[in-house]
Each structure stands twice: as C-alpha cells, then as structure tokens.
C-alpha cells in the first residue's frame, strides 16, 4: 500500500519506461520535433530574429499604422477599434460563462460514474462514517493539480485540513485510485462524441478539433477558482 505524497509519483511515467520508449511516447504526443532542444534552439532563434526584422521593418516603413516611434524614441502603440459582429456563430450554443470549475466537472463525472464509491477505507473493520464527496474531490484536486493537500485545504472554504489529510491517508490507496480511474475510463468509452474525437486525432495526429475549437474561443477549465467551489 502506498500512502501520502508517494501517490503522486504513480501518475508519472517511470524512468525505465521513459528511457526505453522515449521516441514512441513523444510521437504519440505529437512532440517529435522537441526531442532535442539543442537542435531545436537554433531554429527558434532564427525564426524569432526574422520576425523581429519583419516587425521593425513594418514600423519603420509605416506599414503598421498602429505602432509609431515618437521624437523621444519611444514606441507608441494604439489599439484599433473592433467592429462588433452581430452575426450568430456556433459559439452561441455554448454557455456564456467560459470558465468551468473543476469541482463542477468532478461532480458531473461522479454522478454518472460513481467513482467516489471506489474510495473505501483500507481497514475492513472501519465503521466510521465515510467523508463527504467534496473531501474526496479536494484530495483529487490537490494531487491532480499538483497543489498539495495542505494548500488545497488552506485555500478552500468548508474543507477541514485534518479531515482531508486523514481521508487521503486512509482512502487514497493505489487500489482505490485505479478502480476509480477505471470507472471514469469506462464512462468515457461509452461517449460517442469522445470516440469521434479519438478517430480524428488518430487520423491527423493532432489535437482533436473540438478541443482546439474550445481553446480558440476562450473556453477553459478553471482549476484555480478553488475557494468558491466548496
């Protein structure tokens, strides 16, 4: 049984696996070009210098009307007015609030998969009442967001640090975490939409369109709004 901070290490790729399958893992992540920074760095510097030259040339020639250099040699930048687009787009189908709290995500996933039921006390004869779901969610966030248990308890309302630490120590075993993760994976496998994203990602070798669309339109997962979620 592994308890406490060592659980986080189980999320990482073991060094032995990384050394043997490094190229394969980078290829699966679409990061083949980042294997050697020594080879990548000259190209990045070259591209950066070229962009600097283009930008400076556009300013000096007046091609860029929004950037000018005054008599004192200081750069002045003006922001152009943006005309409001009154046409409706597909983004209107999504919630106006572009931030989704991680607590809301975990609550929804748990309602559909009941993954929190997998967190059983490691002592079979334990008869105390099981902690609330929000305590388990706080533990998952503490490890998953790499914030730590003490910090997640300190910045969250209605979360008792002692109770959270006891919950993590007695309920967050390797076996329980694996079972909880398996339930979530089984749930995701039943989602037809996710299977479509996987097919597209496999064909193109890039990030699925749906996630690129959300990122491009400003939707993101809010994992920092912790004090207001408990």
Whether residue 10 lies inside any domain: the answer is no
Rounded CA-CA distance 123/73 in Å is 72
Q: Tell me, rounded to whole angstroms, the distance of Cα 210 from its chain centroid.
A: 15
Rounded CA-CA distance 1/97 in Å is 42
pLDDT tens readout for residues 52-110: 999 989 988 888 888 888 888 888 888 877 777 666 666 666 666 667 788 888 888 89
Regarding whether 97 and 63 lie in a shared domain, the answer is: no
188 contacts: CB under 8 Å, gap ≥ 6:
194
Rounded CA-CA distance 117/125 in Å is 17
Q: Are strands 99-101 and 220-222 parallel, antiparallel or unpaired?
A: parallel
* Better-predicted residue by pLDDT, 175 or 100: 175
The residue segments making up the domain with residue 172 are: 88-222
Regarding whether 138 and 160 lie in a shared domain, the answer is: yes
* Better-predicted residue by pLDDT, 124 or 201: 124
Whether residue 19 lies inside any domain: the answer is no
Percentage of the chain beyond pLDDT 70 is 71
pLDDT of residue 35: 82
pLDDT of residue 213: 47
Whether residue 82 lies inside any domain: the answer is no
User: DSSP label at 140?
Assistant: H
Rounded CA-CA distance 11/20 in Å is 18
pLDDT band at 48 (very low <50, low <70, confident <90, very high): very high
pLDDT of residue 227: 41
Average pLDDT, the chain: 78
Regarding whether 192 and 100 lie in a shared domain, the answer is: yes
Rounded CA-CA distance 94/69 in Å is 42
Domain end position, chosen among 18, 46, 77? 77
pLDDT mean over 24-32: 85
* Better-predicted residue by pLDDT, 220 or 32: 32
Looking at the 3D structure of the chain, how many domains does it have? Answer: 2
pLDDT mean over 177-198: 80
pLDDT of residue 53: 93
pLDDT tens readout for residues 92-105: 666 666 677 888 88
pLDDT mean over 121-147: 84
On whether the CB atoms of residues 196 and 75 are closer than 8 A, the answer is: no
Joined together, the tokens standing for residue 146 give 């790499």
pLDDT of residue 16: 87
Angle at CA of residue 72, ends 67 and 77, nearest 5°: 20
Percentage of the chain beyond pLDDT 90 is 12
Whether residue 204 lies inside any domain: the answer is yes
Regarding whether 176 and 134 lie in a shared domain, the answer is: yes
Regarding whether 205 and 106 lie in a shared domain, the answer is: yes
Helix, strand, coil percent values for the chain (each to nearest 5): 55, 5, 35
Per-residue pLDDT at 173 exceeds 50: yes
pLDDT of residue 81: 79
Rounded CA-CA distance 139/147 in Å is 10
Rounded CA-CA distance 7/144 in Å is 11
User: DSSP label at 118?
Assistant: G
């Amino acid at each position: 049984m592994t308890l406490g901070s060592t659980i986080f290490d189980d999320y990482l790729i073991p060094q032995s696996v990384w050394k043997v399958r490094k190229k394969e893992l980078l290829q699966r992540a679409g990061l083949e070009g980042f294997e050697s920074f020594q080879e990548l760095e000259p190209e990045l510097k070259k591209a950066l210098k070229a962009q600097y030259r283009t930008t400076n040339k556009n300013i000096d020639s007046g091609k860029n009307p929004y950037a000018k250099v005054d008599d004192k040699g200081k750069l002045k930048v003006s922001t152009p007015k943006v005309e409001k687009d009154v046409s409706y787009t597909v983004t209107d189908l999504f919630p106006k609030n572009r931030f989704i709290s991680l607590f809301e995500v975990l609550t929804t996933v748990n309602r559909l998969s009941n993954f929190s039921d997998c967190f059983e006390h490691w002592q079979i004869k334990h008869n105390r009442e099981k902690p609330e779901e929000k305590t388990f969610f706080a533990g998952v966030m503490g490890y998953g967001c790499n914030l730590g248990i003490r910090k997640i308890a300190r910045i969250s309302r209605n979360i008792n640090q002692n109770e959270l630490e006891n919950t993590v120590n007695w309920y967050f075993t390797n076996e329980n975490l694996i079972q909880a993760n398996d339930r979530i994976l089984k749930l995701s496998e039943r989602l037809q939409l996710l299977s479509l994203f996987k097919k597209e990602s496999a064909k193109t070798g890039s990030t699925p369109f749906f996630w690129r669309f959300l990122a491009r339109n400003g939707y993101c997962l809010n994992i920092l709004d912790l004090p207001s979620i408990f």
